[in-house]
Chains A and B, each alone.
Chain A
Amino acid sequence: MNWGFDMRNTQLGPNRFVAFGFCFWIFLLPESQGKDIDFVHQVAPILKEYCGKCHLGEKKKGGLSFNTRALMFIGGESGPVIHPEKPEDGDFFKRMLSDEKMLRMPPEGPRVPPEMVKILKDWIREGAKWESGYSLGGVHYEPPLKLKKIALSKFKEGSQNPIDSLQFQGGNGISIRSAPDEVFLRRVYLDLIGLLPTLQEQEDFLASVDPQKRITLVKNLLARNGDYAEHWLSFWNDLLRNDYTGTGFITGGRRQITKWLYDALANNMPYDQFARDLVAPPTPESAGFSEGIRWRGEVSAGQTVEIQFAQSVGQAFLGINLKCASCHDSFIDRWKLEEAYGMAAIFSETPLEIHRCDKPIGKKATASWLFPELGNVDPKAPKKLRLEQLAKLLTQPDNGRFSRTIVNRFWQRLMGKGIVHPVDGMQSEPSHPDLLDFLAGDLAANKYDLKRTLFLIATSRAYQAEIVGHPMEAILGKNQILGPMEKRLTAEQFLDGIWQITGTAPQIGDAVINRWNPKKTNNPNGVESKAKWVWSVADSSQSPAGETVVFRKDWNINKPVYDGHAVITCDNRYTLFINQKKIHTGNNWEKPDVVSLKNDLQIGRNEVLIIAQNGGSGPNLAGLWLDARVSSPQGEWVSLETNESWKWTKALPDKNGKFLDPPKDWNAAFIVKQAAVWDSRLKGELNTLANQGIIGKRPIRASLVKRDFFMANLGRPNRDQIVSVRPEELNTLEAIDLSNGQILASLLEIGAKGILAKKYQSSEELIRELFQLALVRKPTSEELHLLSEGLGNKPEVQSIQDVLWAIIMLPEYQFIR
């Protein structure tokens, strides 16, 4: 990592900017060279006088706006109003000249005088020349595509974060107020890795007198690859609409990119490559993003997978909303139907019929991307090549929109509000254009190292300052950024924090990944499972279709079971019983099940019984695989694996796994010779599942778990649509769930029991520690007094639980300040 502020790296070199003509509007007409009509002095005043009341600025009656030349020619809800070839035929002139009450324009007041009508007609005949960049709307802004080269005049090498020198230009002398160390510590942990600092980490940082300690901390946090990946996974899952369950998965209409994404984050894959892998997937691992969601049934033309591709690429990487333009030329920005379809056609296997508002217009789309001024894809090339061309165009350094969009998202995440806001509307004017272009240019010039961008922001004085409020309060200096806004914890941060404080993180996640382990990067999960594929014969390749074999193993456990799970799969189906109780069934060997065993095992002998059944229509390979691990409250693990010590019979038990007539023919199981067939597909995944959360002692994170009711309530979205900003307010239904929901109440109860078991010297000590863990500060004497009173002389589970609840319900816990 090289995050030193070396000037040579902070900018694109001058030779990197290839001069190209600006051509932001794709004109409907060739521009005329005619000089007769002067737009600004002759045409604009007429439009303002006679049309302005309804069609300029914010007003766009009937969807028609004359703010810009493009909008004027796009027309309104009923289509174009000006026919360039025959101006008289369009509604623009027809209605201007009509005497009919229902038709005439303007609808009331004086008519447009004939000599002015003539000026307008001549102007259109001459090609409707419009002053470049001139907007009658008065608010029009079109971001330049290339990045501005930022001169850091006040920047002193090595001594100051370049962001600091940028944002104080033109300030009015109000200085930034640095946040205290405790506040900074909690903030930077939550923002960069999504966790609360542990007591030891707090102590180390707060005791340090190193003037560079904040910079060092930021560096160290970013170097915690696993924690970093597991925090930012939620951000990217939202943005790339990746999830572990949801619409489409059940019907095979959607694919996860979890494994690829996790690795990309843990290894800090350069962002240009990251985007290229998603747009033009080199392997199926990253294909789920571009493939989108194949919905069941017929969908409108604006929601086919091709159009989804256009929308997703536009929104995620460029902050362009193509949702309007997917159906008709957008009324709100420059994007047009054919441009949206051009993007879609890049992804399309077959020629793509353009539909306007769900009706075909009798025209096929030509594959083309959104900024042809940077080059274009070859519409005749095969799909794979077109995608590669798009990926390259998207990520070339001249495409400032690409780097601006992501640095702006990161700025929003850390500072609470984007430099361009909202973050998905990158056509809007930035509040601090130089700052935005500096960060974007710096990213492009440094191998698209996203951690470097986070480092720059997190070590700026602005980020380290006291908070300046909430976006709702909108107290932002025009030229200054005085500090970050207050940010609400995401559902995942909220839950991870509670799991940390109470030690209640689950043992198993739902995301199928190889969790990062710094110690064993080659074999991230350490212990390889000892389980074998078994059947009633060693060569099970000729098992008859439907053959049913019952396997049994007694499992002796001598400590109470605190937590645990079994990973199980069978080619082709199984039913698992423990102690004559049905636990789980499964019928897809390619999707191993993870089954909780928390509540089903007893001290002493446990009978594990599995009815395994082969599928197919003729003889074929059959096998069963299980790896079960449970821990005692003290964290001692015992395991059970399928192997030749298991016994089998052909006799069948009843529906509870009980034999009315206990079989006498229990035979020893065989290890299947052909296990390689399954291993080649599943071995890694089975290992990962069996090891999750057990090896390495890194607790499971909320980002790795399916969205449950509790997280949904706290704003974790279902990822059918791209989500770039989580809800910022706690609503009443959430508050009800926080006040009486069973999930939280159980966590707090278990947590309280654990705290009680720690046997603190005094209530004060307990409270001090909880405050430190949750809020990263000492309680005041008033707080200490109040909560000690709450706990009483002899703290009990209930009183600890209530104190815990009161602390995590504090705004101070629920927000990052």
Chain B
Amino acid sequence: MKQGPLGRRNFLKSIAMANAAAWMAGEPKLMASNPEGGKLIHPPAKADSIIILWMAGGMAAPDTFDPKKYIPFKAGIPVAQVESTFPAIDTVVDNIKITQGMENIAKVMDRGTLIRSHVLPDLGSILHSRHQYHWHTGYVPPQTVACPHIGAWVSRVLGPRNSVIPAFINIGQRLEGVGEQEELKAFTTAGFLGGEYGPMNLPFPEEAAQSVRPPKGMQPSRFENRNSLYRRLVDKAPNREWLSDFQQKSMMRSMDNAYRLLSAKERTAFDISLEPKESLEQYDTGRFGRGCLLARRLVEAGARFIEVTTEYVPFFNWDTHANGHTTLANMKQQIDRPVARLILDLESRGLLDRTLVVLASEFSRDMIMEGKPGSNAADQATEKVDVLKELKHYGQHRHFTGGSCVMLWGGGVKKGHLYGATASQRPFVAIKDALSVTDLHATLFTGLGISPKTAFEVEKRPFYATEDGKGDPAMGVFA
């Protein structure tokens, strides 16, 4: 092929006015200052990793972490009399009670802080996917730019803890073949930060090993040979000189990263079948339980941000529009053992102090009230009855945004602590230390050593980690 008398590098060098300013289309710039003008200073990190345990679909606080007046099911009882459908149980912390069905979690409540005053906005008709988008990005959709998931923020600002393990891993949620999949995809993304910081999606924990294995049916030796053939072919390319340095370096770096992960010893962390039988059985209450196990293995291997979801499928799992009590008994059975075991495992491995575990949901629920007082949201209950007739009427069937629970463990938070409270009578709105999504995010970011005012310049305007840089961390939850 015709190369000309000079190679490309010499040719380029001969261009006298080479402009040194690196520039790239669309790449957002990290801003060095905070909105008030001073230099951006990150707080000292209290945790190195974070696990979000996502109770998708709206976890009802009165039936989980914030017990109210319990009335057992009986046909003929007015619905409005019932506040909780599970009795309260004691926990290892004197002043904290939670509800029946969470006996294992009750035993680890002394390792963390329970927030009972998380408040969510009432976005008109209260839609799961919009609230989930808001909770995961800090911004209410729709937005004019693609907003990054908080995992992408963490990935972008802190990078991976172990360079072979992707910094942002999302476990348990399918993005294809489920209702509202487009809406789910809209926030399960790095948005404008760029794909490098996006989630590695592992919808089925038991298949996670497959995603970091050489392709199905390819023996390790063949995989290695293929890579070696590829590397030699790249080196032999006669026209490398005529490809841009930037592209080659960037592309080869990504290919190298991929190969390193797919052939690294750390990839065994993705394989939950390697877990001892006793432990696997403890965790294995279902997909979510196995997801918790995978999360623990990945944190041990050096993962940075992990989310484990009780999968969101409209009208399933926590999304109880009918038959709520029965469904929740099952959901609690799914989460109780693995969550408690996760906390204890992290503790026994000396990882809990530097791992922030967060259990949260897009909003709470109530037996009778949709939204919160004054909401114009339409009643979402499948059967609107005033008096309980059948068991399927018994449960928290309406979305409630005025007071929701978040559990924090490890990562420098206070132990056995209760933060905030909801009213003792309906409506169960937060009456003390109300904490918005923006401020909760600021709290989580602060725990990880990221300033809530961190911003990137997008389309010439600043875009902040917390909405408009205004997130105010609840320092009261930290020890």
Contact = CB atoms under 8 A, between A and B. Distances in A.
Decide whether A and B assemble into one complex: yes
Interface of A: 54, 61, 172, 174, 177, 180, 182, 245-247, 249-250, 293, 295-300, 302-303, 311, 321, 323-324, 326, 331-333, 417, 421-422, 424-425, 466-478, 482, 485-486, 488, 709, 712-713, 715, 717-718, 720-721, 725, 727-736, 738-742, 745, 777, 780, 782-783, 786-787, 790, 798, 802-803, 805-807, 809-812, 814-815, 817
Contact of A715 (B195, B237, B247): B195
B259 A814 contact: no
Interface stretch (B83-91, B105-113, B122-130, B317-325): B122-130
B262 interface: yes
A470 B246 contact: yes
Most A CB contacts (10 A, CB to CB) among B25, B213, B226 go to B25
21 contacts: A182-B1, A247-B183, A297-B127, A321-B459, A468-B12, A469-B244, A472-B24, A473-B245, A488-B247, A720-B146, A731-B195, A732-B258, A736-B200, A736-B258, A745-B216, A802-B226, A802-B229, A805-B226, A811-B247, A811-B248, A817-B239
A466 B2 CA distance: 11
B127 to A, nearest CB: 5
B142 A295 contact: yes
A37 B186 CA distance: 55
A732 B246 contact: no
A184 to B, nearest CB: 11
Contacts of A730: 250-251, 254-255
A728 B24 contact: yes
A174 B14 contact: yes
B19 A732 contact: no
B166 interface: yes
Given A811-B234, A811-B251, 18 more contacts: A180-B1, A326-B144, A425-B460, A466-B4, A470-B244, A471-B24, A475-B19, A728-B25, A731-B254, A732-B258, A740-B211, A740-B212, A783-B238, A806-B229, A806-B230, A810-B234, A814-B251, A817-B242
A725 B196 contact: no
B246 A61 contact: no
Contacts of A739: 214-215, 255, 258-259, 262
Nearest to B4: A177
B265 interface: no
A734 B175 CA distance: 17
Nearest to B126: A297
Contacts of A732: 166, 196, 254, 257-258, 261
Contact of B198 (A180, A296, A733, A817): A733
B25 A421 contact: yes
Contact of A467 (B23, B127, B244, B257): B244
Contacts of B250: 729-730
Contacts, number: 239
A721 B146 contact: yes
B37 A61 contact: yes
B274 interface: no
Nearest to A77: B35
Contacts of A469: 12, 244-246
B225 interface: yes
Contacts of A324: 461
Contacts of A735: 254-255, 257-258
Contacts of A802: 222, 225-226, 229
Given A323-B144, A736-B262, A802-B226, A471 B23 contact: yes
A43 B464 CA distance: 36
B24 to A, nearest CB: 5
B24 A783 contact: no
A36 to B, nearest CB: 36
Q: Rank and list the top 3 A-B pairs by shortest CB-CB distance, nearest first.
A: A298-B124, A735-B258, A731-B196
A478 B212 CA distance: 47
A740 B195 contact: no
A812 B237 contact: yes
B314 to A, nearest CB: 11
Given A729-B196, A809-B230, A476 B19 contact: yes
Most A CB contacts (10 A, CB to CB) among B200, B215, B257 go to B215
A715 B186 CA distance: 14
A199 to B, nearest CB: 18
